[in-house]
Amino acid sequence: MQPKPQIGPKEALDKLLEGNRRFVEGAHTHTERTASDYRTSLVAGQEPFAAVLACADSRTPPEHIFDAGLGELFVCRNAGNLLNLSTLGSIEFAVTHAGCPLAMVMGHSSCGALNAAVAAAKAPEEYLSHNIDEIVRRLWPSVLATKPETDDESQWVDEAAKKNVLRMYEEMIRQSPIIDARVKSGEMAVVGAWYDLSTGFVEVLKSTL
């Protein structure tokens, strides 16, 4: 039998945003949920209230940004917060086996992966490695869709990063019959979000709620 979410999708999103508010204000509470006795209580199982697909950038750990303790977030990270078979399968695992009621795709300002993709768009002949180029290739649709009329490269990077969040948001629903069905039934929600490195705030860009 599949586990039922302990809270609803809207409550889960509110909980994330409230944790982000504490993070910005420096009023952290997650240390209370990392102590040894709390850790021991999680040995038997997990009930995360949100799954987060985030960038691997060292400045963007979701557990810190949302002031979350052990067992609260199911996190998948890679450069450019890209959706692939393993990340989508992992999020489906969080939904079906851990009862997760919310999935979030979170991009951020000044993203290094998007910066590399913009640089590649300006000089496509440059080659870094097969693996890095695969990331760049996945990001190019967002880069090309947001090419500015000005030479403001930082603006281009951020606009492309936001576009990429929205693309991954749509792909998550479209490519997963499990997630699509649960969103339509109201059992879960999918959210596209934006993290500002300078302010620390998380903004909701799009939501199924």
In whole numbers, what is the pLDDT of the chain averaged over residues?
91
Decide: 62 and 52 in contact? Cβ < 8 Å.
yes
| E strand or H helix that includes residue 16 | helix 9-25
> Can you tell me the mean pLDDT for 150-174?
93
Helix axes 130-145, 153-175, angle to 10 degrees: 100
Phi, psi of 193 (to 5 degrees): -135, 160
Q: Which domains does the chain have, with CATH numbers?
A: 9-109+172-207 (3.40.1050.10)
> Can you tell me the mean pLDDT for 106-110?
98
> Can you tell me the mean pLDDT for 158-186?
97
Pairing relation of β-strands 50-55 and 73-78?
parallel
Q: Tell me the pLDDT tens digit for each residue of 24-37.
A: 999 988 877 876 77
Decide: 133 and 127 in contact? Cβ < 8 Å.
yes
Lowest mean pLDDT among 73-77, 100-104, 137-141, 196-200: 137-141
Q: Which pLDDT value is given to residue 127? A: 65
Residue 48 has pLDDT above 70, yes or no: yes
> Can you tell me the mean pLDDT for 39-48?
77
Nearest to 200 by CA among 10, 28, 12, 11: 28
Q: Which pLDDT value is given to residue 1? A: 47
Taking the C-alpha atoms of residue 194 and residue 205, their distance in angstroms, rounded to an integer, is 7
Give the predicted TM-score (pTM) of the model.
Answer: 0.91
Q: Which pLDDT value is given to residue 129? A: 83
Residue 142 has pLDDT above 50, yes or no: yes
